Structure 1
Amino acid sequence: MPLFPTLARVSLLALLAPALALAQPVEPDFAARTAALVERHRVNVDDLLGNARQEGMALLVIPTLNLDVGPQRDFEDDATRDRFVRQRSTFVHWNHQSEKDTVISAGAGDHKMNSGDPGPQFQTVRGKLLYQVIPVWPGEYRLNRITYHQPRTELPVTVPPQSAMERLKKIGIATLHRTVDREFKMTAAQPQSGQDTDDGLGKGCEVVLRAGGGCDEAAREVRWRLNGEIASSAGSADAVSTSGFNAELVFSPIAAIKLEAGEAVLTDGFVLPVEQPVMTPNSCEDTSLGPVCTMDSLTLMRLPGSLADFRQAPSASSFKLPQLDAALRDLVYRAPTLYYQPESKAAPDLIRAVGTD
């Protein structure tokens, strides 16, 4: 599948995002250069999404949770920040049935784009939902993989290998990759940056270099880390290394959707609750990739898509994306195929997948 020239430009800008977000804005023209980068990103995103349907792709609109709902988080609290990092880092992956490297990935985090997985390019919020717009190659996709980062958590104790037959009875496996995260402990009063003064990074989605809305808490967390780096350099904070892990859950498909070239489709979203998955006790085996554990069950929360609700969210044109706005005018809703039934009639949007035990 060919790589759009525009997608290549968008990808290059996305590679600059971490450097943009964590740079210390000391140069006089930093704000102006940041604004210019954001503007180029906006133009490229509008070009990519506005022309995707004519270029043989489809546009998929899929909801996830709006992490800006509710009061601002206290990122000085470790538990609060850890929970946010896990929520924001979670990506739900829908894999193409026949093209191995072609994927739909939805989630609020920083996305590593490539030709087979462009990721969310625009997003807009309505209440508890964050609607993401993703350019998608045609075909059938199955939801069978989720990734996330779990901070400040040690890897589980491993046990001798269990039989292959026992593994096959389970809903799926979780592979855990150890990480070392950089955190900060204040030793003196924290300097203000991006709160009472302009730090030149912009607002919300400008800070994380994504088109649309729904990035305010993400921008605040970026600024917390930036302030930590500044404070550490000034001697008013200690940099601390903490253990965590990246989790990759691979499981039997929970849902599927088929998309044709030239379509614009809204479907249901799915999110992973923080208490999920349910791991099999004493099942983690040591491998060259890290501990691999089996899962007894996996419950996802479905976020039903609604055309009427989506139309009440800020439009693409309100974010100066006129080509995308035009491309979404004939948007239609399509429900995904579910391979597992809701947990109960009282909880129709909780989809629980279990093995064959």
Structure 2
Amino acid sequence: MPLFPPLARVSLLALFAPALALAQPAEPDFAARTAALVERHRVNVDELLGNARQEGMALLVIPTLNLDAGPQRDFEDDATRDRFVRQRSTFVHWNHKTEEGYAISAGAGDHKLDPTDPGPQFQTVRGKLLYQVIPVWPGEYRLNRITYHQPRTELPDTVPPQSAMERLKKIGIATLDYAVDREFKMTTPKPPSGKEDEDGLGKGCEVLLRVGGGCDEAAREVRWRINGEIAFNAGQADAAPAPGIEAELLFAPIAAITLVAGEAVLTDGFVLPVDQPVMTPDSCEDTSLGPTCTMDSLTLTRLPASLDDFRQAPGAASFNLPKLDAALRDLTYRAPTLYYKPASEAEPNVIRAVDRK
């Protein structure tokens, strides 16, 4: 599969996103330079998505949770912030059946752009759903991997290796890696100025260098971290390391979808509830990759999509993406193939995968 030319330009812009988001706007022209960067990013994303179908790719529209639905969060509360960080960092990965490394990744977090997995390039919200548009290489993709960051969590104790036969009975494994987060606590009360969004970083998705909507809470969390750094440097806050875990779940496929070059497809999304997965007790072994544990079960929530609902969300044209708007006009719906039945008739969108005893 050849590399997609515009992707290289979008990749270069994406490299600046973390620096842009965490910069301290000290120069007078910071806002102007940020606006120019955001505009260049918009133009390149429109070219990438608008031309994808002609360049041998497909366009996939898939929903995930809209983290802006509901009231604003209190990010000063540790538990609230931890829950948000896990939700935003969660990516659901659909891996290509035959092409190793090719994947579809959906989620609200900061995607590491890769030619084999371009990730969400545009998103728009409708109620509790965040619809993401992803350029995809053709082929069959299977949902069999999920990654997320779990703040304020220690690695589990490990046990001697169990038999390979016992591991094969399980639905999948979780590989855990140690991470260190930086936490801030204000030591000097700072009254709100009412001008938190006048720091030159822009608003909503501009702060994250992302095109579309559904970024307001993520932008507020980014500003929480920026303000913590500024307060710490000014002697108004304490900073301390906090343990965290990077989790990778690998499991038997739960769903699959096949995409053909040149088409635009809407399908159902899947999200990982915060109480999942269910780990096998005392199953974590020490490996070269870190503690590796088996899972007794994994429950995902399916987010049914519909063309009518998607069409009621703000369209690409409203975000000044004319090429993408044209590319989505003949969008069709395709249900994914499910390898597990719903948990019950009363909960048709709860998909529970269990071990293979």
What range describes the TM-score normalised by the shorter chain of this pair? Answer: over 0.9
Q: CA deviation at 1:190?
A: 3.3
Counterpart secondary structure, 2:53: coil
Q: CA deviation at 1:317?
A: 0.2
Q: CA deviation at 1:41?
A: 0.1
The match for 2:13 is 13
Counterpart secondary structure, 1:156: coil
Measured in 2, the distance between the counterparts of 1:173 and 1:75 equals 32
The match for 1:65 is 65
Q: Deviations over 1:200-236 (max 9, x none)?
A: 0001000001100000000000000000000000000
Q: Deviations over 1:47-77 (max 9, x none)?
A: 0000000000000000000000000000000
Is 1:184 equivalent to 2:194 in the alignment? no
* Over 4 Å off, 4+ runs: 191-194
Q: CA deviation at 1:288?
A: 1.2
Q: Is the 8 A contact 1:317 1:325 kept in 2?
A: yes
Is 1:354 equivalent to 2:349 in the alignment? no
Q: Is the 8 A contact 1:194 1:223 kept in 2?
A: no
Measured in 1, the distance between the counterparts of 2:136 and 2:42 equals 19
Q: Is the 8 A contact 2:197 2:203 kept in 1?
A: no
Distance 1:315 1:191, change over 3 A: same
Q: Is the 8 A contact 1:191 1:231 kept in 2?
A: no
Q: Deviations over 1:256-275 (max 9, x none)?
A: 00000000000000000000
Q: Deviations over 1:117-170 (max 9, x none)?
A: 000000000000000000000000000000000000001111110000000000
Measured in 2, the distance between the counterparts of 1:117 and 1:308 equals 28
Percent sequence identity over aligned pairs: 82
Counterpart secondary structure, 1:8: helix
Distance 1:257 1:194, change over 3 A: farther
Q: Match of 2:345, as an amino acid?
A: K
The match for 2:215 is 215
Counterpart secondary structure, 1:95: strand
The match for 2:81 is 81
CA-based RMSD: 1.0
More deviation, 340-349/191-200: 191-200
Q: CA deviation at 1:2?
A: 1.9
The match for 1:232 is 232
Q: Match of 1:95, as an amino acid?
A: N
The match for 1:325 is 325
Q: Match of 1:23, as an amino acid?
A: A
Q: CA deviation at 1:194?
A: 7.8
Is 1:296 equivalent to 2:296 in the alignment? yes
**TM-score in terms of structure 1 length:** 0.99
The match for 1:257 is 257
Counterpart secondary structure, 2:55: coil
Q: CA deviation at 1:355?
A: 1.1
The match for 1:40 is 40
Q: Deviations over 1:295-317 (max 9, x none)?
A: 00000000001000000000000
Measured in 2, the distance between the counterparts of 1:196 and 1:268 equals 36
Distance 1:194 1:6, change over 3 A: farther
| 1:94-173 matches, cutoff 5 A | 94-173=94-173
Q: CA deviation at 1:15?
A: 1.0
Q: CA deviation at 1:7?
A: 0.7
| 1:49-60 matches, cutoff 5 A | 49-60=49-60
The match for 1:342 is 342
Measured in 2, the distance between the counterparts of 1:226 and 1:86 equals 19
Q: Is the 8 A contact 1:191 1:227 kept in 2?
A: no
Distance 1:78 1:229, change over 3 A: same
More deviation, 191-200/70-79: 191-200
Q: Match of 1:255, as an amino acid?
A: A
How many residues end up aligned between the 2 structures? 357
Counterpart secondary structure, 1:348: coil
The match for 1:272 is 272
Q: CA deviation at 1:196?
A: 4.6
Measured in 1, the distance between the counterparts of 2:259 and 2:209 equals 28
Measured in 2, the distance between the counterparts of 1:243 and 1:141 equals 34
Q: Match of 1:115, as an amino acid?
A: P
Is 1:307 equivalent to 2:307 in the alignment? yes
**TM-score in terms of structure 2 length:** 0.99
Distance 1:218 1:35, change over 3 A: same
Give ranges in structure 1 of 5+ residues lacking alignment.
Answer: none
